Structure 1
């Protein structure tokens, strides 16, 4: 018996890195997996059906169930086609793991509009589009009286939450938006039997290896037999647990790296200053500095 026996999952960006590890683990745990990957380069350009199909072939060879999908999740119609394929191929949809992402790093003063738009599209719109179509499917199921025990796991980042990274204004903004989207969606979709959580993973992937100032850290060799704290496989067990039908967790954002998992708490009030009347600029200069 696997944790995900009988469940059907969509995993975006599942042709490589963390997404690939999700797909392989989900299949081992009994899920039927739609392996989505456009197959583009780090910056999102180009396409290649190979990565998604290779993961599918590996799952099927091991006795699992999987199909490939190369739709662009940043396209509203592409996201709809992805959800439609899952239901057509496997008869239902229970899990959505939003993982697809790209990088077009640049300091804000030199950032081009295309760099901003591309990253926001793949990350933030790519999460919203798949979430919209999956939510519409689950809402219809619920309204029809069918039981729903669905789970969404979004992928935020340390860069957009607790560890801002210079040169990633576009990426950090998108990831912070994903964390906020997760909390809103958890509140909205609970009535339909859908739980929504997010992770902020730190692991060795082709994107982190290409991140200025961080690549060397992730590329460091790990002596044979020692625990590899940056292995992408370390991320997937948490995602599988959040996807399980018997999990009750929703509205959570977890930082996960190596053997450590920490809940991230959204914006909350710190020190408060008060006035008996309207503020003046001088008052604020004295009180705030």
Structure 2
């Protein structure tokens, strides 16, 4: 009996721990050959000495279960190392079919306390890392498609966050990066459609090394059952989006955690005001907008958190 991803190859970045590990194991379980990427730094802020061991351990776990995997130790935010990662997948499996961008770090700080380095480092790993990998994967798919004269098989699954959807006061760098990833995803979906490539983004909520303090007071597993916030709740959606079954799903944003998947619609206009004259004056805008916002909650943001039943962790931290 064939598996959904038989004959396909995948890259998962940041795959040594947490969400990335669960996603790599799930893709392998579904039949894909997996390139397990991780820089191997122990700190969730990207600090510490880099090591090839964590990525190799996950690759060995996949092989021990009867799957196919190789490890890649490298920083995907480095343009050349991202190219090397795609080249490794092609050299190992003959082609690349699936890209799961998951790698990231946290350097939390309020906007008035954040340093330039704290901003740059998070944008670099999350947003530039997603761009680097998407760039080289798309070059591969476009070249193959042009050579074949027909669309090829390509799947991109990017990792955004509810921190982008509902705001995260202590994470302006992280929230901005995750919002940028959604924009990158929708742009890529449009640009790559004619080559047979889909691109989607997920907002996962999971208890991992990066969120261990955020979820300290949240529900724990009972009677030996699966943790409601286990990364294993997220991985099946990644497997689905990577599969032929999701050929008609692209440019989408989905929230996933604990047995729940929510499809997020694009922003909609909630109200429109037109000037009674040739152009607006201050007084006319004051007369129209001040009463409108007076009837709304002072803390109601662009994407109301109650839509997803979201509750922030301490200090406005993210839940994914």
Provide TM-score, normalisation by structure 2. 0.86
Candidates 151, 154, 161, aligned match of 2:158: 154
Match of 1:85 among 71, 85, 88: 88
> Counterparts of 2:23 and 2:4 in 1: how far apart (Å)?
13
* Residue equivalent to 1:243: 242
Deviation at 1:217, TM superposition (A): 3.3
1:227 and 1:17 map into 2 onto residues whose CA distance is 14
Report the equivalent of 2:3. 2
Q: Which residue of 2 aligns with 1:257?
A: 257
**CA contact under 8 A between 1:5 and 1:30: conserved in structure 2?**
yes
Is contact 2:185-2:199 (8 Å) kept?
yes
Distance 2:46 2:83 in 1: 20
Q: Among 28, 44, 47, which residue is 1:45 paired with?
A: 47
> Equivalent residue for 2:295?
none
**Distance in 1, Cα, partners of 2:47 & 2:94:** 33
Q: Distance in 1 between matches of 2:58 and 2:97?
A: 20
- Output one character per residue of 1:169-228: Cα deviation in whole Å (capped at 9) or x when no partner: 000000011011111110000011100001000010111114xxx23235x432124452
- Equivalent pairs, count: 284
- Classify the secondary structure of the residue corresponding to 1:55: helix
Which residue number in structure 2 is paired with residue 36 of structure 1?
37
Q: Return the offset for 1:270.
A: 1.3
User: 1:45 deviation in Å?
Assistant: 2.0
2:132 aligns with: 129
Is this contact kept in 1: 2:207–2:231, CA < 8 A?
Answer: yes
Given that 2:151 and 2:194 are in contact with CA atoms closer than 8 Å, whether structure 1 keeps it comes out as: no
What does residue 143 of structure 1 align with?
146
Residue 172 (structure 1) aligns with:
175
Runs of 4+ in 1 over 2 A off after TM superposition: 225-228
Q: Which runs of 5 or more residues in structure 2 are unaligned?
A: 291-320
3-state SS of 2:266 partner? coil
TM-score, normalised with respect to structure 1: 0.95
Asked if 2 retains the 8 angstrom alpha-carbon contact of 1:150 and 1:245, the reply is: no
Aligned to 1:233: 232
Query: Following the alignment from structure 1 to structure 2, what is the Cα–Cα distance between the partners of residues 183 and 4?
Result: 24
The 1-side partners of 2:258 and 2:230 are apart by 7
CA contact (8 A) 1:22 1:239 kept: yes
Q: Distance in 2 between matches of 1:179 and 1:266?
A: 11
Runs of at least 5 residues in structure 1 that lack an aligned partner in the other structure: none
Displacement of 1:153 in angstroms is: 0.2
Tell me, in whole angstroms, the C-alpha distance in 2 between the residues paired with 1:226 and 1:25.
19
Please state how far the C-alpha of 1:246 moved relative to its aligned partner: 3.4
| Matched residue SS, 1:197 | strand
Q: 2:122 is matched with which residue?
A: 119
2:132 and 2:269 mapped to 1: Cα distance? 31
Asked if structure 1 preserves the Cα contact closer than 8 Å seen for 2:228 and 2:258, the reply is yes
CA contact (8 A) 1:151 1:195 kept: yes
Alignment of structure 1 residues 10-89 onto 2, 5 Å: 10-40=11-41, 41-46=43-48, 47-89=50-92
Report SS of the residue matched to 1:110.
Answer: coil
**Secondary structure of the corresponding residue to residue 254 of structure 1:** strand
CA RMSD of aligned residues (A): 1.2
Alignment check: 8 A CA contact 1:9 1:94 kept: yes
Query: 1:97-116: CA deviations, max 9, x gaps?
Result: 00001000000000000000
Q: Alpha-carbon deviation of 1:152?
A: 0.3
SS in 2 for 1:172: helix
- Cα distance between partner residues in 1 of 2:151 and 2:281: 57
Q: Which residue of the other structure, out of 106, 109, 113, is the alignment partner of 2:112?
A: 109
